[in-house]
Amino acid sequence: MTAQANPQAARVVLEQISKRFGQTVAVDQVSLAIAPGELVTLLGPSGCGKTTTLRMVAGLETVGGGRIYIGDAEVTHLPPNARDVTMVFQSYALFPHLTVFENVAYGLRVLKRPEAELQKAVRDVLELVGMPGLEGRNPSALSGGQQQRVAVARALVMQPKVLLFDEPLSNLDAKLRKRMREEIRLLQQRLGITAIYVTHDQAEALAISDRIVVMDRGRVSQIGTPLELYKAPANRFVAEFIGEANFLPAQLESVEDGWAGIRIGSQRLRVQSRPLAVGPVTVLARPEAIRIQTGGEGLAGTIQKVSYLGSSADYTVETDLGSVLVTDYSMQGGVLSAGTAVRLEFLPHGVYPLPGAS
């Protein structure tokens, strides 16, 4: 959870905010309450309205309807420079005609902070993001990761009430991306700053967030912790977007306080569930929670396709219930080849009945 309380950190409340561009509705009645010091991610495919929502919080887009509060004040119609919010941009947006130092100092110079205080603040924050000693460089002389750090430093030095991230890691290579997201998370927790983070990368969202808001076509699909979203997706869209998923027809046979008895093919199992009506349902089965074996009990099928991925093997298995994706991390039986007849056993921790009939 959030680290030590930061008096500067503010809560952020979005009340049914909407935005349309011409005929298309980009954001449709999005409501969200973010606690002080919390990191909330807006996650969704491109065009789902997550960036537009973020830009409305920053004041970079006009708000079509609804209200936005930061701390106790309503900021719905305030220009961006009158809000206590800073942003890390996808392209970093480092000023090419200013040095690293001047980039970070920019906001403080606008506020006309005394020179000594400014010097110290800039050096401290560059130290904090692990970039001391490069103050005199031009941004173009920095690597992608370094530019990223300067962009974060420039946003942090203003001690904003809210820090916004607009897909900050999408221009980095895979390895660096992983490292930077850990650093950003550590920094955010250490400073106890409220943050809103936009990404389309579900792995990034799972790794970094206190809570995730999954958005689909301008609307909120589900809000929850990473674990809640993975374990108990509200609908098929969320289930598909977060992690890999199989959707299989099944029978719901009994429901009692949080648990359900279900039958997939001939296999019966008890899984955690919301209260649902007894009858046919669609269940979500995570590929890593399906055991694949050449004999024994379970759903019968034939391997159609094999992808060997090093630490795991992915199988596409053709069954009576349709095509099923299985990820095998153990590979105890070695890697099976296409055409092999197999049995699939569903493990209760990776199966979840979805609301709504199939």
Partner 1 sequence: MTVARNPACLLGGLGLLLTASLVPFVAREGQALWLRPGDLSLTALALADRHPGFWVLAALAVAWVAAGLIRQERPDRPARWGGTAGCVLVLSLTWAAGVKPYAFGPGAILALAICLLVLAYGLSRGGYIRADTFIAASILALAFFILLFILFPIFSVLRNSVMDASGLRVGLFFETLRRYTALWRVVRNSLGLALFVGVTSTLIGLAFALAATRSRSRLTILLRSFSLLPIITPPFVVGMAIILLFGLQGFVTSQLLGLKTRGIFGFPGLALAQTLSFAPVAFLVIASVVESVNPALEEASLTLRAGPWGTFWRVTLPLLRPGLANAFLLTIIESLADFGNPIILGGEFEVLSTEIYFSIIGRFDQTLAATLGLILLSFSLATFLLQRYWLGERSYVTVTGKPPSGKPMPLPRGLEIALLSFCAAWCAFTLVIYVSVVSGGFVEIWGINNAFTLRHYQQLLRDGMDALQTTLILAAISAPLTAVVGILLAYLVVRHRFPGRGALEFTSMLSFAVPGTVIGIGYVMAFNQSPFLLTGTATILVISFIFRNMPVGIRSGIAALAQIDKALEEASVTLRASFATTIRRIVLPLIRPAIISALVFSFVRSVTAISAVVFLVSAKWQLSTKVILDQAENGRYGLATSYSTVLIVIMALAIALMYLLVGKRAAAGGLEGGGLA
Contacts with partner 1 by CB under 8 A lie at 58-63, 76-83, 85-87, 89-93, 95-97, 106-107, 110-111, 154-155, 158, 164
Is the Cβ of residue 79 or residue 296 nearer to partner 1 in the bound state? Answer: 79
- Give 91 or 294: the residue with its C-beta nearer to partner 1: 91
Q: Six-digit token pair at 61?
A: 């887009």
Q: Which is nearer to partner 1, 96 or 258 (CB)?
A: 96
In the complex, what is the shortest distance from the CB of residue 117 to partner 1, in angstroms, rounded to a whole number? 15
Q: Which is nearer to partner 1, 93 or 269 (CB)?
A: 93
For partner 1, the closer of residues 107 and 353 by Cβ is: 107
CB of 343 to partner 1, least distance (A): 53
Least spacing, CB of residue 147 vs partner 1, in Å: 12
Sheet with 259-264, edge to edge strand ranges: 267-272, 259-264, 246-256, 279-285, 351-354
Dihedral sign from CA coordinates of 354, 228, 161, 58: negative
Q: How far is the CB of 156 from partner 1 (least distance, A)?
A: 11
Which residue, 97 or 175, is less far from partner 1 as judged by CB? 97
Single-letter code of the amino acid located at 35 = A
CB of 70 to partner 1, least distance (A): 13
The residues, ordered by sequence, that sit 6+ positions from 239 with a Cβ below 8 Å of its Cβ are: 233, 245, 247, 284, 352, 354
Ramachandran angles phi, psi of 56, nearest 5°: -70, -35
Per DSSP bridges, beta strands 162-166 and 322-328 are unpaired
Q: By the 8 A CB rule, do 244 and 287 touch?
A: yes
Minimum distance, C-beta of residue 60 to partner 1, in the bound complex (Å): 5
Cβ atoms of 329 and 288 closer than 8 Å = yes
Residue with smaller CB distance to partner 1, 89 or 247: 89
Could you tell me the smallest distance in angstroms from the CB atom of residue 167 to partner 1?
11
Q: How far apart are CA 314 and CA 246, in angstroms?
A: 13
Alpha helices in the chain (DSSP H): 50-58, 100-110, 115-128, 144-156, 174-191, 202-208, 226-231, 236-241
